Structure 1
């Protein structure tokens, strides 16, 4: 079990109990099947052999991945080289950092929602705290608790009306008029703008490290596969015979 999954389960006693119960139940079922002689049935023998092969081959691949994963220092060096070699791959479009307050039209009539949004805008222009009003009034479950903060985003991520209003804002602190989208009425405030340009290495680092790690591990797997191909002696007639058996029509058992 992966360490992160193990850590999550340990913190959930009920889930842990159910998992252990399932393991004991499966063990009891296996023992009952063994006692009834099912382990000698040809199809069960074949399935057990396949399961054993899978467990062992998966374990080998884990070992191969670990042995082909460079050290942290080497990974970082390779990531920097990749970053410097392909600057066009790390170009960021212009982005804006926006927070908003949504008054939904799903409950109640549109005119009431619009009037509420207008009232919120008046309060904001009079100096009210944006985050406090967002927490109190915004119907956006993803941002209300964060004071309406949506973080940075590029053009095209939001619905067109929202996008247009957001990118029209120029100075930090600027507010939009009340705008309407399919979700209701919004008031937006600009927190910051980020011009188009190269993505800093620190922002791209984690993705680059993952890409380099995966590439090196894949290279190790390919080398292993080639070694196996060079050493394996395949019986073509046996392979064709197995394929024919698998493709043969199933004959129903006689009653």
Structure 2
């Protein structure tokens, strides 16, 4: 083989490599800004954040991400050029940002390693269902500020006026007045004690003979109906229970860290 032929091949190889280098660099970078590369990994990270928040990964979103990282590089270079990275305010904000991100990662890591199990969800469901068992009462009421007004309205109803009409016209409870005082089915424990005690003594269709005083004013109460408490199926509330248990676990994790830390600082709460 001729020496000139070998030399030519080496030259071609070097040229080919030189031509491929920019292509390889561009594969790893979006572009260069003032000679500094903008890594494609920044775009990928931004897209991960966006999709985690529920945005679909579309060509338009990818373009927005590329635009964003290039603009950020331009602005970053200008800020550094002006010496802002050396300012005390910038350093303080960076420290707060570092703490925030690290704390977020702490709780995220704990949540990943301590997921809510199906058994925990089932046990919590059974507990909530047991607490919700019993009788629910469907009541109507009329709320007024003065006892004399309540007595007057009672007399009107006993005289033949419809409870619903009197409630719409006179009740001060904005949540039920428009519906004729209807409170729908509820556990009596969800009401203030005075109201609950008077309600459970009534039979269907009965009304309190005298006004019932509570912290809100004076009530006239009528019992419309009763039923055994209904509780939704597990599938309907599974997501809510998982969220509730996750929050409880995170709260305990936070409190455990706080309890074992050595400090003489006293929290007010």
What is the TM-score with the length of structure 2 in the denominator? 0.47
- More RCO (CA 8 Å, sep 6+): 1
